[in-house]
Amino acid sequence: MELDVADSTWFGLFNKAGLKHAFIHHVSIPETGTYSVTDDARTVEWIAGTPRIPYEAGREVGRIKKVSFNRTYAFQEQGKFGKVIDFTFISEEGRALIDSAAADLGYRQVRGSIEKIGLLIGLGTLALLVLMGVIIGAVMLTR
């Protein structure tokens, strides 16, 4: 599930709102009755009012939670001072749509492969840090 930033119908609104990130939620069904969601966050650049996703920009993949907002006050076209941009982005809103539909179908969420790899790397790093602490402690005690 992704926002269709390539649809020219939305260019003006997205550009005016200052859209800088595009979120894609990749849904997979590893086995019957289960599903996993992998978030894919990309940076969007606006070139002459047209969006493009640059290849050299950063990209995040996995379970991503982001919240951002943009409130801009300025003189409007009618000459009145007021809010011209009022935009809030919460990455979990897209996931909530998926989770709601999956729950209605009786599906159970499981961790995706990228999320599992990230957890393994984190736990492995933690184990190595503990092991290093034990080794350094042992060396210090034997001196």
Which pTM was predicted?
0.57
Quick check: helix, strand or coil at residue 98?
helix
Q: Are 55 and 66 in contact (CB under 8 A)?
A: no
Q: Are 68 and 89 in contact (CB under 8 A)?
A: yes
Could you report the per-residue pLDDT of 27-76, keeping only the tens digit for each?
A: 888 888 999 988 888 776 666 555 555 544 566 777 788 887 777 788 87
Counting residues of the chain whose pLDDT is more than 90, the rounded percentage is 24
Q: Which residue has the higher pLDDT, 19 or 53?
A: 19
The residue-averaged pLDDT of 70-95 equals 80
**Is the pLDDT assigned to residue 132 strictly greater than 90?**
yes
- Say which amino acid occupies 5: V
Burial class (CB in 10 A: 0-12, 13-18, 19+), 11: middle
